[in-house]
Structure 1
Amino acid sequence: MEADLDFVTMLFALPELVAHRPDPMPDTPEASARRLSHDMDHWYNHGFGRWAVEVNGRLIGFGGVTVSKEFEGLNLSYHLHPDSWGQGYASELVAESLSFAFNGLHAERVIGLVRSANIASRRVLEKSGFTFEREVMLHGAPTNPFALTAYGQMV
């Protein structure tokens, strides 16, 4: 668990990773510890959550689906180390997460939240079949929810 905390702390201290958040300040070690604790609590309470993502035995990020508190449906999220961007890992993670959500959890709807400036993340969602819904204010910043339903799922 300590290795996971060290990785999460390092990951969310990277300015390029947090650039699209409403407050683009890197996380403190304490905030990273809270983030990891929140993820572990989600697993405990729901029996699923975000996964660690490894490539060739090396941790590069995490992602998956969680219960959304703000929107109807499961929330898809992914955070990958910038060294792994542009190599298809986000698309692969999204595909696995959708398969798990729709086939394993029998979800009816999955959402992905993207800030307007995060064009790469938007492309990943669109390529995966998500459609833009509307711009909303979330945590003080304009946010674009994209959704995919079980009926619109690309198989």
Structure 2
Amino acid sequence: MKSTILTVRVTGELYEKLSNDSFELGITNSENVRSIIKKHFSGEHIGNEIYNSSDFIFLIAWLFEKKANRYNNCNKQELINLTKILQKVISSNCMPSHLLEELDNVLNDINRFIKEFDAENNHFRFCVPYQDDTFDYTGIMEYIVYKASENKIQL
């Protein structure tokens, strides 16, 4: 396909950020801008938006709260909303597959919990320490730190 020249005016600050990013990547500003535009229109940028959403932050906070207390302190509707957040994160496919599998296990456990909502001594199983299916808290923290270092997550 024949290429077309596109001229864009940006602030000095944005130009400096683009130039620094291009330098770090070892590419020209033009190559960087083409890559950014291509990612935007292909939908590749969507996964990164999830990391900075209030839903994702709520999910991570809830997961770590369960590490300290595996018993439920939410009503059924809040748990259903949590399953929707998990489904959105999983379907975005924006994490390594092993973490997506971990989140899928959490989703399955929440769904089980909802079905057994009124059962006596019902608790979440994904967060019980030293079990084969215990959630990988270290893995998710390392991934969040890695993404934060890439400036994909704003801490």
Q: Same fold (TM over 0.5)?
A: no
**Structure showing greater Rg:** 2
Which one has a larger percent strand, Structure 1 or Structure 2?
Answer: 1
- State the TM-score, normalizing by the size of structure 2: 0.27
Which one has a larger percent helix, Structure 1 or Structure 2?
Answer: 2
Greater relative CO (CA pairs within 8 A, separation 6+): 2
